[in-house]
Structure 1
Amino acid sequence: MTTNAITNEPPIDKTSQAQYPIEDLLRQRWSPLAFSDRPVEPEKLCSVLEAARWAASSYNEQPWSFIIATKDNQAEFDRLLSCLAEGNQEWAKNAPVLMVSVAKLYFERNGVENRHAFHDVGAAADNLAIQATALGLFIHQMAGFDVPKVREVYSIAEGYEPVAAIALGYLGDPQTLSERLQQRELAPRTRKPLEEFVFSGRWNQPSPLVKSH
């Protein structure tokens, strides 16, 4: 985990308290709002994209693409930043890397609609997130962005759909955020219990596997 250069302590520790044992990288992954202005090394950025490349997908179609902008090119960064919702621009402007994931909606093999495209793009983004965590990086994915504007700004062709905006970088100091955003950043992490989404027999009937624990 990223540490404070002065105290050598993590700026914030949001490691999850899992109900059952899971891999540490999964426990350490979370979506911060406070990003450091430290640039992300190109080799690390390529590593997280390589992890996305090796995600599973229906018929191995790999229907994902990523539009990427870094602060090495401020004009490009600002162009992508302008596509975000105003509330997300407030904090995402501090991240050194911004991305937009895009799904290809039709199978290359036969032109039929790929209803799993969004699922597969999500799987690629999850690979990206876990690899980022392994490298001391964090990502925050956003639904709050202007889809038509992304289409126009980047001339995205028909048959492709922007899925999510992504901020990526090293963990920053929550004190750099507004008071409202600090409250979000420092709030405890919560998840639904397994009983609320693992079913057996019929819909909404908790499985005995998880109900009994």
Structure 2
Amino acid sequence: MVSIKHAQTQYPVADLIRKRWSARAFSPQALSQLEISTILEAANWAPSAMNEQPWRYIVALKQNEEGYQQLLSYLNPGNAAWAKDAAALVFSYAKTTYARNQQPNINALHDTGMANQNLLLQAISMNIYSHVMEGFDKRKISRDFNLADDEQAVVMIALGHLGEAAQLDEPFRSREATPRSRKELGTFVKEL
């Protein structure tokens, strides 16, 4: 089943990129502290404007039941239905002002996105799958974690080893078994 999720690209992109996809079926296998620290270390080495490194993370491994349930509680019901089986949940947020002068960092969300992509690619290099989610209560999580006025919720990320599509209810089971597709380059690239 996983082979249908490997991207069928027009051009020879790196296998790591072809292999990464948004899984929903996670196995009960736990992540170790070394694994999660390695994944977060990769995020830390993303490029950032003025080396500001605006990304921030709150992480809960499933072994920490209280923290895990807290992060899970912010997810929309559709995401929580399958994300409950992930080995870790990660809340990603960004500091939107520069530390040196408190001026707006218009690159903060972009740079946090780059850090998140490093996180995803490091994870898949370790055969740890991920799913990035926008569907969560940003207002409540921001309030509960006392995010400052210049800190913005970005995404939640589920991480874990791959499970079986059969463990999912519909419509998620079908989505897990559907091949991936992308737009043709000509629809979003203009060459001069």
TM-score interval, smaller chain: over 0.9
1:153 corresponds to which residue? 144
1:24 corresponds to which residue? 15
Aligned residue identity for 1:186:
A
1:126 corresponds to which residue? 117
Gaps of 5+ in 1: 1-10, 202-213
CA RMSD, 1 decimal: 1.0
Aligned residue identity for 1:54:
W
**Structure 1 residue 162 and structure 2 residue 153: aligned?**
yes
C-alpha distance after superposition, 1:46-80 (max 9, x if no partner): 11100000000011100000011111111111011
C-alpha distance after superposition, 1:153-186 (max 9, x if no partner): 2121221001000000101111000031111111
C-alpha distance after superposition, 1:57-116 (max 9, x if no partner): 011100000011111111111011000111100000000100110110101122111111
2:126 corresponds to which residue? 135
1:199 corresponds to which residue? 190
Between Structure 1 and Structure 2, whose CA radius of gyration is higher?
Answer: 1
Q: For 2:109, what is the secondary structure of its paired residue?
A: helix
Question: Aligned equivalents of 2:83 and 2:77: distance in 1?
Answer: 10
**Structural mapping, 1:89-128, within 5 Å:** 89-128=80-119
Aligned residue identity for 2:2:
I
Counterpart among 34, 39, 46 of residue 43 in structure 1:
34
Counterpart among 36, 42, 50 of residue 59 in structure 1:
50
User: Given the two structures, how large is their TM-score scaled by the length of structure 1?
Assistant: 0.87
Aligned length: 191
Percent identity reads 42
Question: Aligned equivalents of 2:12 and 2:112: distance in 1?
Answer: 27
Q: CA deviation at 1:12?
A: 2.5
Gaps of 5+ in 2: none
Q: For 2:171, what is the secondary structure of its paired residue?
A: helix
User: Given the two structures, how large is their TM-score scaled by the length of structure 2?
Assistant: 0.97
Aligned structure 1 segments of 4 or more residues deviating by more than 3 angstroms:
none
Q: CA deviation at 1:152?
A: 1.9
Aligned residue identity for 1:94:
D
Question: Aligned equivalents of 2:189 and 2:100: distance in 1?
Answer: 34
Q: For 2:189, what is the secondary structure of its paired residue?
A: coil
